[in-house]
A and B are shown apart, each in its own frame.
Chain A
Amino acid sequence: MAANTLAYGALVPPSPHGVRAAVGRVLRLGVIVSAALLVGGYVIGVLSQPTAFTSHMAEQAHLQARASFPHSSASLWAGIGHGQGEAVIVAGVLVLILTPVAGLLTSVVAFARRRDWLFSAIATGVLSVILASFVIGWLTA
């Protein structure tokens, strides 16, 4: 294995295909899971409140006079627990938001496994900045 890596060393293209493929797989998985939750949540919503979805009114009224929707982790879990369609859609949106971060996390690990310490460190640095901004965001929101 070690000899193999050495022999390959000079020939392997800059971005080893393994890292790229791994990141690509994680992104695709995130997209598929999110799309399933978005569609599933919408269908649950229509089936559980058919009148809310089919009654005719001005679009502004739909968009502006809406009841509150889940936007904290507590209300999200409670909503999913009650089989609330909107909560499932929110879960799909959150999966989507976190997918690029999951891709970055994958590259941290994949670069490290290929002993590309420089890029593993750079990716870790980027990840810490993003996590720090999550924390700043939650505290100031």
Chain B
Amino acid sequence: MNLIELSLVLLGTSVVAGVLGSLLGLGGGIVIVPVLTLVFHLDIRLAIGTSIVAVAATSSAGAAKNVGEGMANLRVATFLAMATTIGAVTGALLSGVLGARLLFGLFGVVLAASGAQMLRTHAPRVAAVSTTREIPALGEREDRLGDKLALDSAYYDEAEQVQVPYVVANKGVGLGLMYLAGTVSGLLGIGSGVLKVPAMDLAMHIPMKVSTATSNLLIGLTAAASAMVYFARGDIDPLIAGPVALGVLLGATQGSKLLRSIRADRLRVLFVAVVMVVALQMVWKAVA
């Protein structure tokens, strides 16, 4: 294999990672890191550096269109970014203090549990959406702060061909979960879309499509913060990160289009499937 062929293989793999990442609100590291380390035997340091670049690519290309069209909720993203970025810094500072094995194990269990919960809440949520359309408030407007933040919004669902209004619930709990998600990503060096999406979906009652699109906006900000460190350390090799970045950009652009037309319930099942794979990876790291 020569370098050009290698680049093409990386490009192709990254297109898949980009589609999956932008569709599900994840960074795509779950595809990129195993491929680089297991198939190409790349040093884990360079693989993680490359994966951070992939997260930035997924975020920007995925959110470019979705934020303008209101699929991603910019106000929710900005509000929650306070917690995720402070969490990421906390995690980076704490890394080395806590045992990685215990963390991976804990993380895996939390992920599996939230995945299972997401499948369980699936059926009633659809009914809840149609009720919300008739009674917009649903008694969930909790406080004056909520009115000031004006996080509630609506998106147009192409698959169902309806405007779906939604009320953002439990903002305090959401902030707390996002802080934890940010800390975990800082500690373990993983993108935490897998935690951010369930937090928005389960705790804050944000529709699935809006959750993944908004997670896309969020992960770019946390990635930017750590990516500069990886760059300065020399963990970002241009001949690997370049083709990967380009592939992810292409894939994520397609993924964001697919997000508009996919059915929300199928998206949820796909997300849970991927979450379970990640959970297994984490538990494996804890016991292996």
Chain B contact surface mostly: helix
A83 to B1, CA, bound (A): 27
As a 0/1 sequence over residues 89 to 132 of chain A, the CB contacts with chain B under 8 angstroms (1 = contact) are 11011101111110110010000000000110011011001101
Asked if B249 and A31 sit within 8 Å, CB to CB, the answer is yes
Contacts of A94 in B (CB 8 A): 231
Of the candidates B2, B74, B149, B152, which one forms a contact with A54 in the assembled complex, judged by CB atoms under 8 Å apart?
B2
B245 to chain A, nearest CB (A): 6
Asked if A31 and B64 sit within 8 Å, CB to CB, the answer is yes
Chain A contact surface mostly: helix
A40 to B251, CA, bound (A): 19
Is A5 on the interface with B (CB-CB < 8 A)?
A: no
Asked if B221 and A130 sit within 8 Å, CB to CB, the answer is yes
Q: Bin chain B's interface residue count.
A: 35 or more
Count residues of chain A with CB under 8 A from any CB of chain B.
72
Asked if B224 and A66 sit within 8 Å, CB to CB, the answer is no
Chain B residues packing against A (C-beta within 8 Å):
1-4, 6-7, 40-43, 46, 52-53, 56-57, 59-61, 63-65, 67-70, 73-75, 78-79, 81-82, 85-86, 88-89, 92, 148-154, 217, 220-221, 223-229, 231-234, 236-243, 245-246, 249, 253
Nearest 4 interchain pairs by C-beta: A100-B220, A24-B68, A137-B229, A14-B150
Chain A residues packing against B (C-beta within 8 Å):
13-15, 17, 19-21, 23-25, 27-28, 30-31, 34-35, 38-39, 41-42, 45-46, 52-60, 62-64, 66, 68-72, 86-87, 89-90, 92-94, 96-101, 103-104, 107, 118-119, 122-123, 125-126, 129-130, 132-134, 136-138, 140-141
Asked if B63 and A27 sit within 8 Å, CB to CB, the answer is yes
**7 examples of A-B residue contacts, CB within 8 angstroms:** A21-B68, A35-B249, A96-B56, A96-B245, A99-B60, A134-B225, A137-B232
